[in-house]
């Protein structure tokens, strides 16, 4: 009987949700603004789960993510939109810590892109599968697609 309840608990509470690319679990919500230490911990934990290169992933997030300076402290905006503008003056439609470009991924919602847990899960999966070059900062930093989990 105890084994039955373990199985039910797993199915109910740990069943992946949403997107086919990156299963995501139910997490406690995070504040909109995160410190560098909080972002680093989230990226490292997520990269480790997927076997992604956590050093490359962190540097890409650092480069891509919108930041604010509050009382001299750099804060990462988990829901921020890219500051890049097209020639027509419109802002690029990339959002969140992972700066997911929504027009290129119509199956991803803005809410998912702005959820730090969900977006980092998706990003780590993309890195682990050798698809990190879709991030412009990954390319600017001179990285080549790898799925090595080392820093």
CB neighbourhood size of 143 (10 A): 19
Whether the per-residue pLDDT at 71 is higher than 60: the answer is yes
The tokens 């797993």 sit on which residue?
10
Selection from 124, 63, 127, 52 nearest residue 94 by Cα: 63
Q: Indicate the pTM of the whole model.
A: 0.74
Q: What is the pLDDT of residue 17?
A: 42
Q: What is the chain's mean pLDDT, rounded?
A: 81
Cα separation of 44 and 100, whole Å? 19
Q: State pLDDT tens for residues 78-127.
A: 888 887 777 888 888 999 999 999 999 999 999 999 999 999 999 999 99
Q: Which residue has the higher pLDDT, 147 or 112?
A: 112
Axis crossing angle, helix 36-50 with helix 116-128, rounded to the nearest 10: 50
pLDDT category of residue 29 using cuts at 50, 70 and 90: low
| CA dist 68 → 44, 81, 116 (Å) | 22, 12, 16
């Amino acid at each position: 009987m105890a084994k039955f309840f373990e199985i039910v608990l797993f199915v109910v509470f740990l069943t992946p949700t949403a997107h086919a690319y990156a299963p995501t679990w139910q997490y406690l919500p995070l504040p909109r603004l995160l410190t560098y230490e909080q972002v680093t911990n989230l990226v490292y934990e997520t990269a480790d789960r997927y076997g992604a290169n956590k050093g490359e992933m962190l540097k890409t997030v650092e480069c891509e993510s919108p930041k604010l300076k509050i009382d001299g402290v750099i804060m990462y905006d988990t829901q921020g939109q890219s500051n890049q503008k097209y020639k027509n003056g419109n802002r690029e439609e990339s959002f969140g810590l992972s700066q997911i470009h929504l027009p290129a991924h119509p199956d991803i919602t803005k809410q998912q892109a702005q959820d730090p847990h969900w977006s980092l899960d998706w990003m780590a999966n993309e890195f682990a599968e050798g698809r990190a070059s879709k991030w412009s900062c990954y390319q600017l930093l001179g990285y080549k697609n790898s799925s090595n989990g080392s820093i």
